[in-house]
Amino acid sequence: MSCPFLKRATLAQLKNSNNQVLAGIAKKCPVASTIPVQKYNIPQVDASNCPYSSKDRRNDRELKHLASKCCPFQNAELMQQKRLDEPVSKVTSCPKISFMGEVAGEALRKKEKDNTYRIFKEISRSAQIPGKCSIDNHLAMKVNWSSNDYLGLSQHPRVINSTIEVISETGVGAGGTRNISGTSPYHHRLETALADWHYHQHGLVFSSCYVANENVIAQIAELAVKNGKKLHIISDEKNHASMIQGVLKACRTFPGYVEKSVFKHNDMDDLEAVLQSSYSDEIVPLILFESVYSMEGDFGLVDEISVLSKKYDALTFCDEVHAVGLYGENGHGLCNPEHEIDFITGTLGKALGSLGGYVTSNNADFIEYFRLHCPGLIFTTSLPPAICNAAWESLQISCSVEGENLRNLHQKNVAYMKTLLLDYFPDHEEIFEKSNHIIPVFINDAKKVDLVQRKMLRHDHYCQAINSPTVPKGSERLRIVVTPQHDQGQIQRFVRDLVDSIEEVNAVEGSMKFLDGRR
């Protein structure tokens, strides 16, 4: 049968709707709930019978939410019978394919059961109304508390207009890889500006910082091994997945020559103990860390790591993804020249509001080696010139008086949000004291954090729940991001609605315990 809500659903929503979700929708639908679903030949139903299909009717909020995900209703029994009745195709008859399909299906069912099944919401941001968005094609605008566009520069008129100009000049795409017609004057100008921004001599732009981190770490390992050295990679336990993948790739490629150690998050005694154990003329230590940790909401210890690296003659690699644009002189981040960090990576896609990643260094040979050896740079299409220009324009704003004013307002709003939250969550004081502009509110339960997120949506707030595998199970949280585009009235309403939402979940699910950040 055709559901009257089908026209509202997108292809992505249909794919992400599982049988359990559909069954719940059907129970609330005045049409589907009356149909004998046990019968396989379901008669056509007149869609006009559904009172929620009228545009003029004021819908219940929950039903409107369900409507956005509704699709032709079939319960699990019907789906199973349909599969049994259909002839088996030649492709699915292959035992290996059938086996792998069953394995994938079982893995998905497991994720549904433990509340880690993710649905990618369709977010439509508005350049005309900064700080707000619509979700899953709903017209109602929500206040966005989950954007990594920290300063709103992706929607800045200067950035938008300059991007349009370059698109009109060069076209939309880059036309090739960096090696084959994909390098433009805009790429070189951006790389020079990024290097200057970080007080380095040289820079190299990648398609993303994930690609930059993974490739650069692996190539440092290859460079060491090719020259008769062993590489000991020493990584903070809270480092981003992109660095972890780079470490794993290096270890797999050079077993016996690349060793990894993980030190406790921001624990300098543990880091020094690892450095002492590997101190040798034949071993090159490489310390990996971040200046701002995106899920913990705290700062890396750049000063202390710099001192230890010099003491033990170790290379340093700092990911400044969540710091650039927000901290330091002109927003260059938390790594200063006196730190003498060997490799700094960053993104163009967060505070700079564009797309892509990069690495900078004072050593020209390192950057040139990466340019000639990183497969993630060599074998992928280059960033479009207009995107490089957008990042460059944002960088100019960051280095201006306007950029400084945006950073000051950003920090003011962050401090105000934390102050209000502490009135209701005094046990979060230690978390907020050490947190940066990313404010975590720990829920510590996958089901509960999802319920809180849903209730906040009904209050017109979009605040993304974070669960496994992004964070360990049992440390689920809301990740709150405040920007200069938010005002104090919106912040006050957010805190009030958050408290109400948590209390509602507590009433249904029982008492909710908040961690103090230690796990």
Catalytic (active-site) positions:
350
H helix count then E strand count, the chain:
18, 14
Helices (H), 135-289: 157-170, 185-197, 209-226, 241-253, 268-277
* Residue among 77, 363, 381 at smallest CA distance from 205: 381
* Residue among 8, 47, 15 at smallest CA distance from 31: 47
Please calculate the CA angle 239-240-241 and round it to the nearest 5 degrees: 120
| Cα 499 to Cα 480: distance, rounded to the nearest angstrom | 14
| Cα 89 to Cα 369: distance, rounded to the nearest angstrom | 50
Contact assessment for residue 167 and residue 340, using Cβ atoms and an 8 Å cutoff: no
| Cα 425 to Cα 423: distance, rounded to the nearest angstrom | 6
Determine the straight-line distance between the first and last CA of the chain, rounded to whole angstroms.
Answer: 50
Residues forming beta bridges with residue 290, ordered by sequence position:
319
CA atoms within 13 A of residue 136's CA, in its CB half-sphere: 20
| Cα 130 to Cα 90: distance, rounded to the nearest angstrom | 52
| Cα 138 to Cα 65: distance, rounded to the nearest angstrom | 9
